[in-house]
Amino acid sequence: MTKFGWFYKFLLWRDNHIQEKHFILIVSFLVGICSAIAAIILKETIHFIQHLLTRNFNLDGANYLYLLYPVIGILLSGLFVKYLLRDDIGHGVTKILYAISQRKSRIKPHNIWSSIVASSVTIGFGGSVGAESPIVLTGAAIGSNIGRMFRMEQKTLMLLVGCGAAGGIAGIFKAPIAGLVFVIEVLMLDLTLTSVLPLLISSVTAATVSYIFLGPEAMFKFSQTEVFVVERIPYVLMLGIFCGLVSLYFTTVMYKIEGRYRKLSHYWKKFVTGGIMLSVLIFLFPPLYGEGYDTITALLNGQFAQILDKSPFYSFGNSFWGLQAFLALVMLMKVFASSATNAGGGCGGIFAPSLFLGSVVGFVFSHGVNYFPFTMYVSEKNFALLGMAGIMAGVMHAPLTGVFLIAELTGGYDLFLPLMIVAISSYITIRMFQPHSIYSMRLAQKGELLTHHKDKAVLTLMNLDSVVERDFLTVSPEMSLGDMVKVIAKSGRNAFPVVDDKGMLLGIVLLDNIRNIMFRPELYERFHVYKFMVSAPARIPLGMQMEKIMQVFDDTKAWNLPVVDEEGHYVGFISKSKIFNSYREVLVEHFSGD
């Protein structure tokens, strides 16, 4: 009480003088400031390292340092994480989704700074990933730990995690609306009257701080010189479908590549494999270096030939097919470069790769359309902008985030209608093949994903072990009916699991099935349990997801089902009534007031 006595006095004073709902607003403001500062530090550090390393590069040919820089970056980042940090900080958004789905909302304190260090080195040296996922994890960690410092309750902690994530996005992009929408769409935090104001405060505060320190200009310079007309809507729809298919390709290939890397047993095998793949790809296709924001700026401003600068294919810049083939290969190789960066030891997210890929997809599509004389001319820089929204909506399953982020990043508000058309059509296209985003598919497969669907969310929060009833009396198959009646007299249940001497479940005895013989003493020694036991309608293995358990109950029409372990040993029973009671408790605890 001596060292931190003043702080505890402040907490006591706050309890007596400031209402909880007002204090949450104050804390959300503080979280917004801290998240913006973290975003600015990360952004400026990355740009400083990139400028320091590439300022003397040759624009008119190959640069062999591209073979070296990315490998050094993922090596330094990997060593920092493996030997100094000793914790996994990759897949930041997935980690936040997991924290929210488990209602823990406790993110380790080192995440406030560790992702900044690792991703600055990774991206600054040319790793083909983005800084946005690390800053989302950083902001979420800021919100979680500030909330814990002020001894705030669990439900408020979850809201502050969302505030930090919103502040991180708003701070690094100067996009307050996108920050808010991202938390609702991607992190799947419910928008309620009690949550919308803190999220807005954090987003607006973070964006304001970024405006003060980085200037009011949009992140990407874009001037719309060609007005969008209604006749081009069919082409916009086709672009959206194309973006959805490319998003499916990106998501599927990245998931499979990461799975292959996880199977490599040794860290150095991952590093060597990832480093070689990354350095070769960046040497051949320099736009894959770093976040790729220079390429996006060039495409949005019609400076298409500049994209081949610093590459071995510089001389093809003025050829239609040369530029188209180069960018088509960049579009296909981006997923390999991003996967190799993270799997080889780097730290980064897929926010920037989505934006980069979208601009390339939009340009390749429109450039191809304009090659044919029988088609209507479409603006290539407008479509590069629209493609960014399409890929983001597809990869992240977040059409609103894609629309608002691109509008705020570029100032392209005049293209709001086509932005919405591309985002929605891309989202619908990928949903036909893949129901989960790249962030949530890992958790969804484990049954750990919290969604906006409240019934599914409650079932996700429920734990099978907490609803297993273990007070059912067991019987052996050789037991006589007379002994069975004695067991029934001691039990308040109407079902009895039959197990052998090793505890293996053989079947069950239902009271209703023996009611006609249990009151006939002359049969007590003639009948044994193995004669009147029956098989269970289904067996519930330990670890089964609650949503699947409810499906089993619906399929079998049963009210009680036995639970067994992996070897088939009897564990207990699970009942519908117990699940419903637990469901109501979780609903009241976590969703009251929504």
Contact of 39 with 219, CB cutoff 8 Å: no
| Structure confidence by residue, pLDDT tens digits, 493-544 | 888 999 998 889 988 988 888 888 888 888 888 888 888 888 888 888 887 7
Here the contacts of 224-227 (C-beta below 8 Å, separation 24 or greater) are: 224/382, 224/412, 224/414, 224/415, 225/379, 225/381, 226/379, 226/382, 227/414
**Residues in CB range of 231: below 8 A, 6 or more apart:** 376
Contacts of 580 (CB under 8 A, 6+ apart): none
DSSP 356-369: HHHHHHHHHHHHHH
Predicted pLDDT of residue 253: 93
Topology given in CATH for the domain delimited by 230-456: Clc chloride channel (1.10.3080)
pTM: 0.76
- Distance separating alpha carbons of residues 185 and 397, to the nearest angstrom: 8
Sheet of 540-541, strands arranged across = 540-541, 560-564, 570-575
Mean pLDDT of 446-463: 50
Residues of the chain with CATH 1.10.3080.10: 5-214, 230-456
Query: 12 Cβ partners below 8 Å, 6+ apart?
Result: none
pLDDT at 467 over 90: no
List the structure tokens of 586: 């979780």
- As a whole number, mean pLDDT of residues 438-466 equals 56
Which CATH architecture group holds 5-214? Orthogonal Bundle (1.10)
**Which residue, among 23, 396, 380, has the nearest Cα to 182 in the 3D structure?**
396
Lowest-confidence pick of 247-251, 415-419, 430-434, 441-445: 441-445
> Long-range contacts of range 79-86, CB-CB < 8 Å, 24 or more positions apart?
79/345, 80/117, 80/118, 80/121, 81/114, 81/118, 81/345, 81/347, 82/267, 82/345, 85/110, 85/114, 85/118
CA 283 – CA 310 distance, rounded (Å)? 9
402 vs 578, more confident: 402
- Tokens 């109501």 map to which residue? 584
For residues 2-6, average pLDDT: 61
**pLDDT band (50, 70, 90) for residue 430:** very high
Contact 534, 508 (CB under 8 A): yes
Closest CA to 175 of 111, 228, 137, 132: 132
For 119-162, write each residue's pLDDT tens digit: 999 999 989 998 888 999 999 999 999 998 888 877 788 889 99
| 434 contacts 248 by C-beta, under 8 angstroms | yes
pLDDT attached to residue 453: 47
Q: What is the pLDDT of residues 12-65, one digit of tens each?
A: 777 777 888 888 899 999 999 999 999 999 999 999 998 888 877 766 666 778
Task: Tokens for 311, please give them.
Answer: 């590459």
Half-sphere CA count of 346, side-chain side, radius 13 A: 38
Alpha-carbon gap, residue 264 to 271, rounded angstroms: 10
DSSP annotation of 504:
B
* CB crowding 553-574: b at 16 or more within 10 Å, else e: beeeeeebbbbbeeeeebbbbb
Q: Give the model confidence (pLDDT) of 345-394 as tens digits.
A: 888 888 889 999 999 999 999 989 988 888 888 888 889 999 999 999 99
Alpha carbons 104 and 316: distance in angstroms, whole number: 54
Handedness of CA 420, 423, 425, 428 (dihedral sign): negative
Residues ≥6 apart with Cβ < 8 Å to 557:
537
In this predicted model, what pLDDT tens digit does every residue of 164-208 receive, in sequence order?
999 999 999 999 999 999 888 887 666 666 778 999 999 999 999
CB 449 within 8 A of CB 266: no
pLDDT of residue 464: 62
DSSP 81: I
Mean pLDDT of the chain: 84
Q: Are 167 and 132 in contact (CB under 8 A)?
A: no
Q: Which tokens is 568 given?
A: 């088939």
Q: Which of 158, 41, 49 is nearest to 97 (CA)?
A: 158
Q: How far apart are CA 493 and CA 560, in angstroms?
A: 11
What would the two tokens of residue 473 be? 């009396």
CA atoms in the 13 A half-sphere facing the CB of 150:
22
CA distances from 427 to 42, 256, 405, 490, 579 (A): 30, 21, 16, 59, 35
Q: Where are the alpha helices (DSSP H) in 220-288?
A: 233-263, 267-284
**CB distance 35 to 138 below 8 Å:** yes
- 159, 63 in Cβ contact below 8 A? no
* CATH 3.10.580.10 intervals, the chain: 462-591
Q: Do β-strands 570-575 and 560-564 pair in parallel, antiparallel, or remain unpaired? A: antiparallel
87 and 107 in contact (C-beta within 8 Å)?
A: no
Tally the C-alpha atoms within 13 A of residue 92's C-alpha that lie toward its C-beta: 34
Instruction: Tell me the mean pLDDT in the region 578-585.
Output: 64
Contact indicator for 298, 304 with CB cutoff of 8 Å = yes
Which CATH number is correct for 462-591, 3.10.580.10, 2.40.50.140, 3.20.20.70, 3.40.50.10540? 3.10.580.10
pLDDT for residue 452: 45
DSSP reduced 3-state for 19: coil
With a cut of 70, say whether residue 456 has pLDDT above it. Answer: no
Range with the poorest average pLDDT among 92-101, 129-138, 338-347: 92-101
Q: Identify residue 296 by its one-letter amino acid code.
A: I
Residue 375 exposed, middle or buried by CB count within 10 Å (0-12, 13-18, 19+)? exposed
Report residue 475: phi and psi, to 5°. Answer: -130, 160
Higher pLDDT, 574 or 451: 574
For 235-248, how does the pLDDT look when each residue is reduced to its tens digit (9 = 90+)?
Answer: 999 999 999 999 99
**Over residues 571-584, mean pLDDT:** 74
State the chain's maximal CA–CA distance in angstroms.
Answer: 102
pLDDT band, very low/low/confident/very high, at 462 (cuts 50, 70, 90): low
- The dihedral built from the CA positions of residue 156, 94, 330 and 267, taken in this order, carries a sign that is positive
